[in-house]
Amino acid sequence: MPATREVPRFDPVRVRGGHRPGRLLRHRRRAVAAGLAVTATALVAAGPRDADGARGHPPRPPAHTASASGERPAHPGGAAGPVTAPIRISDAATVRLLRPGDRVDVIAAEETVSGGDARVVARGARVTKVPEPVEGDGGALVVLSVPRATAARLAGASATARLAVTLW
């Protein structure tokens, strides 16, 4: 084993400017501020997203779950929010009783050979507009606010049946 060498003696090394606590503290504040800015930017960029990665749009319920009104969207991923649906009610005198804001049930009455069959097509639909009836038109128009799936059922029922309303 070789002999150990001794380290020669030398004066301490002095760094220009020395060690100032104020300067170190100022740099620490800048580092923390920069770190916070980077973190905030990363959080905004990675912000909340829907399952499909879209931001800034209202969330849509999954296709397999029902909406708040208990009805399914018209197609997978479709919005379950209310839409306006104009329908023609066969009795114009009944329509004159309606006012915007009223709640109604819409009933479809189908006439068959064996008799009449009535079914409720929409429950609790809100009346949004009651246009002036046109004379000799065979009924009156009413504009309702209903979920999208209910609007599709109303359109289908109006093609094959006479529609009537009952006030709540």
Between CA 65 and CA 43 the distance in angstroms is: 30
The answer to whether residues 33 and 41 touch, using CB atoms and an 8 Å cutoff, is: no
pLDDT at site 102: 92
Residues of the chain with pLDDT below 70 are 1-2, 17-26, 47-80, 112-116, 136-137
**Token output for 142:** 């009413």
Q: Which residues contact 66 (CB under 8 A, 6 or more apart)?
A: 72
What is this structure's pTM? 0.51
Whole-angstrom CA distances from 62 to 48, 71, 102, 116, 147 are 17, 12, 31, 38, 16
C-alpha 88, offset from chain centre: 29
